[in-house]
Amino acid sequence: MTAPFARSLLGWKPSSKNKLRWALVPNFADVDNAESIRIGAGVLDELGLLRDKVSDVPKDPGGPLEQAVRDHLDHMLPELHPDREWRVARGAIITRFDQYSHLSQVDELVRANPELRITIGMDYLIKPDVTVALGGLNTASGLPPLHAAISCKWTIRSDRVQNIRHECLQMIRHRRGRQPHLVTVTAEPLPTRLASIARGTGEVDAVYHIAYDALVASVATNANADQQEAWREVVGQRRLLSYETLVDTLASW
């Protein structure tokens, strides 16, 4: 399945320098990686986007991806589960939610004591790209519980992988109560890079791809043996899923 907003974000852009020396390249591919360009091109072919036409897509799609995910979940979740009071937001700090409300007091102590700041640090004050909370529930703090924390990454690079893992680990360690669904949403075309965040010891529950079906077809046609093996691994382990399943998962969980 393809996310309903995928075609408004994915497309062809001009490139003056890339591994394949193409005039236009996929706007979600790594121009220094030929496999990334080929697989990305196959995705756009599957989406019906002509190779000889520049696409009308955002110059920097990272922010629009976050907004699209927020808007889509905000629209769909009440339709699938109208009995719940859904609260979907961008950039909300985790201290606004029940499981992490105690971190506000920790933060006050740390800010007032420079020695604690050195010892404990301040990397527990996380602002997930998109949060899904449940209102109308009685909690000890009076705040809504965090149902899901979604990291939106247009593409995957090594520094972004470490950042995602670190934030998820902090939310696992510091929670008081049920763990929220900790996931990543991405447009990354390269299976080995998807594997770098999808595989692991469970810091990230799952990676959801916004053009999953198109990527399935492109990997089968355009990917080399290493990329196909990485693809089989993450799909076989159910670590990489279609974005469309995220809505159903949140609504039924």
Domain ranges of the chain: 61-252
pLDDT of res. 162: 84
Indicate the fold that domain 61-252 takes in CATH.
Rossmann fold (3.40.50)
- On the 0-12 / 13-18 / 19+ scale of CB atoms within 10 A, 158 is exposed
pLDDT of res. 120: 53
pLDDT of res. 199: 81
pLDDT of res. 110: 59
Q: For the residues of 26-85, what is the DSSP string, one character each?
A: ETTS-TT-HHHHHHHHHHHHHTT--TTS-----SS-HHHHHHHHHHHHHHHHHHH-TTSE
Nearest to 76 by CA among 127, 36, 132: 132
Rounded distance, CA 69 to CA 174, Å?
26
Rounded distance, CA 70 to CA 143, Å?
20
Q: What CA dihedral angle connects 12, 41, 218 and 28, to 10 degrees?
A: -60
Rounded distance, CA 203 to CA 171, Å?
9
The distance between the two most distant Cα atoms of the chain, rounded to a whole number of Å, is: 60
- In terms of phi and psi (left: phi > 0; alpha: psi -120 to 50; beta: otherwise), the region of 48 is left
pTM, entire model: 0.92
- In terms of phi and psi (left: phi > 0; alpha: psi -120 to 50; beta: otherwise), the region of 88 is beta
Rounded distance, CA 205 to CA 198, Å?
8
Query: Three-class SS of residue 193?
Result: helix
- 130-145: string of b/e by CB count within 10 Å (b at 16+)? bbbbbeeeeeebebbb
pLDDT mean for each 10 residues of the chain (253 residues)? 94 97 98 97 97 95 98 97 97 95 71 57 78 96 97 89 88 93 97 90 90 98 97 93 96 91
